[in-house]
Amino acid sequence: MAKKVTGEMYYDLDGQLAEIKRQLRQREGYPYDLEDLRDHLQEAIEGKFNSVRQWRERDGVIYFSVTSDGTTGEGWISRLENKGFQVSDWAKSILRSPDFKPTSVTTEIVVFKGRLFSDSNRTTKNIRAEAERRNLAKPNAETACLIREKFSDKEIESMELWWIVTMHDPIKDSDGDSYLLRVGRYDRWLRVCDGSPVYGWDHDFGFAFVVPQVS
């Protein structure tokens, strides 16, 4: 039902819109993320006030940020399971590896949708080559845990993906096999997948890289 806007409410809302315009006109530039502003404004236009999306998409590429806090691999196992997520035995082996190195940093994540690549070219080698061409870097393996914690299965489904693979350097499990960590929208899982360069992927996978930090 439409509601007439009058009095103090009108002036409050008009003032907020004016502030956004002021920020956009600043000589030094807009201080926040313009793409996020555009997405939130569009959702407001459509009346989607309870839909606060934590990611955005442009031309088949998904963007969002995550912040690590030094949680160890063993700590991630407990942290995820305590929140109702499931961690496969192979994923636990990767998290417990000495090659799993926790950090404390905010990272900008870029996820390629599998549909960006043809079926014959959708291999790990070619996907990494495309990331290099776009000046993207390999993520830390902990990024998979951060993605798992950040997004529900429903949100991953809204990205039109079944899995998000974190394209870190492959890590060997206790049997000596090299794996990548992946997040799936099936029963809140953190699992692993083949880390070899020639491995081919389905079109409904996403592939996570990072925007390098400028020192």
Q: What is the pLDDT of residue 187?
A: 76
Q: How far apart are CA 181 and CA 166, in angstroms?
A: 6
Question: Mean pLDDT in the chain?
Answer: 91
CA trace torsion 43, 44, 46, 48 (10° rounding): 70
Average pLDDT over residues 112-116: 97
Q: What is the pLDDT of residue 35?
A: 73
Q: What is the pLDDT of residue 163?
A: 96
Query: pTM of the prediction?
Result: 0.76
Q: Report whether pLDDT(51) > 60.
A: no
Average pLDDT over residues 66-84: 96
Q: What is the pLDDT of residue 181?
A: 98
Structure-token pair, residue 109:
């994540």
Q: Report whether pLDDT(64) > 60.
A: yes
Q: What is the DSSP string of 136-165?
A: -BPPPTHHHHHHHHH--HHHHHHTT-SEEE
Answer whether 103's CB lies under 8 Å from 142's CB. Answer: yes
Which sign does the torsion angle of CA 182, 143, 176, 120 carry? positive
Q: How far apart are CA 175 and CA 178, in angstroms?
A: 9
Average pLDDT over residues 98-115: 97
Q: How far apart are CA 181 and CA 179, in angstroms?
A: 7
